[in-house]
Amino acid sequence: MKYFSIIALFFITLQVQAQIAIDEPIEKEIVATPFDGSFMKFPFTIKEDVALGMNGEKVTFIKLSTFDFKNEDGSRVGYDKEDDFINKTFEIIGYEKDIYDYFIVTNEAGTYKWKVSSSQDYVLNKFLDAIKDKLLNQVFIPLHNAKEVEGLDGSNITINGNEEYKVTKVSYAKLSVLEFGIKVQLNEKIDVIYPTGENDQPKYFNGEMFVRNPEWINLKGGGSLDYSFNLIEKSAYEKFKIENAKFIAQIKAKEIAVGMSNQQVRWSWGMPSRSLGAFGEYDEIFDWGGRKLYFKKKILAKIL
């Protein structure tokens, strides 16, 4: 019996000695990223640093349900409170993460928890302010000679490449039966859409990554099949003409010619359908809607 006790004590001692200390995970401090007005609505997945940086920002609700809100105590907001939210502006004063993302919002009607959803119609006020600062009263010139578009009033409009277009109004508007977004008015009479998707506005490669080009904009007609058209801020357009003097006529006419750079071809024809890689003496071959374009050192050398 004494021998058994010694053996048991030996194993218990080994077990104790074999245990290791396990450190708890280090909690990473989340640093708030101040909102710069770069997006109109929250992305599908909201990063915590972005959410925490929204404190003090204003949001205007356009069309949503009282189901998207809770009172401060967590109870549901009644249907009879709908008018307190529709077309009303609130200030964001806090953020909570549950299963869903909730922002604490407040105005004279009260303080509520707002559950964010991609199906809601709302606008972050700083985004609209940033678009106004960028566009209002600026003069632009179209990249191409002519573009037929449908105005938001249903009228047929020709955007002329030889004319100047001044942005005379920027507003958040109902663009169609189901769509809300940014409306831009040109020359006090032409109402078109300012697309707000992640890749809807022109970008350029700054040596490290693609970033928004502040001197170029894309606008879009109101028709369902209307594609966007490019405009360049007037002073930047004059510089653009000089830098591309040899092929500016082709670019304006949406034509291409041997000797154009890869970028000049893209200004004329848009993005290629696909890359075919390198072959023989050509280091880049692209398929542009059924036409094969052969490049040497990024210069168009042959068209088939």
Q: Are residues 173 and 113 in the same domain?
A: no
Both tokens assigned to 150: 């449908």
Q: Are residues 191 and 274 in the same domain?
A: no
Q: Are residues 164 and 225 in the same domain?
A: yes
Q: Name the residue among 128, 93, 132, 140 with its Cα closest to residue 114.
A: 93
Give 234's contacts (C-beta < 8 A, 6+ positions apart).
138, 139, 140, 141, 164
Tell me how far CA of residue 284 lies from CA of 154, 203, 261, 279, 303, in angstroms.
Answer: 43, 22, 12, 7, 12
Give 137's contacts (C-beta < 8 A, 6+ positions apart).
166, 167, 168
Inter-residue contact 106 to 84 (CB < 8 Å):
no
- 283 in a domain, yes or no? yes
pLDDT reported for residue 3: 54
- CA-to-CA distance for 255 and 233, rounded, in angstroms? 22
Q: Are residues 177 and 263 in the same domain?
A: no
pLDDT reported for residue 16: 55
- CA-to-CA distance for 130 and 201, rounded, in angstroms? 14
Domain assignment of residue 257, given as a range: 244-303
Domain count, the chain: 3
Instruction: List the alpha helices (DSSP H) in 166-279.
Output: 234-243, 248-252, 262-269
pLDDT reported for residue 29: 80
Phi first, then psi, for residue 42 (nearest 5°) are -70, 145
- 26 in a domain, yes or no? no
Residue with tokens 């303080």: 111
Which DSSP string do the residues of 104-148 spell out, in sequence order? EEEETTEEEEEE--TT-EEEEHHHHHHHHHHHTT-EEEESSSEEE
Local confidence pLDDT in tens for the 304 residues of the chain: 555 555 555 555 555 555 777 877 776 788 999 999 989 999 888 999 999 999 999 999 998 889 999 999 999 999 999 999 999 999 999 999 888 899 999 999 999 999 998 889 999 999 999 999 999 999 999 999 999 999 999 999 999 999 999 999 999 999 988 888 999 999 999 999 999 988 899 988 888 888 889 999 999 999 888 889 999 999 999 999 999 999 999 999 999 999 999 999 999 999 999 999 999 999 999 999 999 999 999 999 999 9
Q: Are residues 202 and 223 in the same domain?
A: yes
Neighbours of 238 (CB within 10 A): 12
pLDDT reported for residue 209: 86
- 166 in a domain, yes or no? yes
Inter-residue contact 247 to 258 (CB < 8 Å):
no
Q: Are residues 110 and 143 in the same domain?
A: no
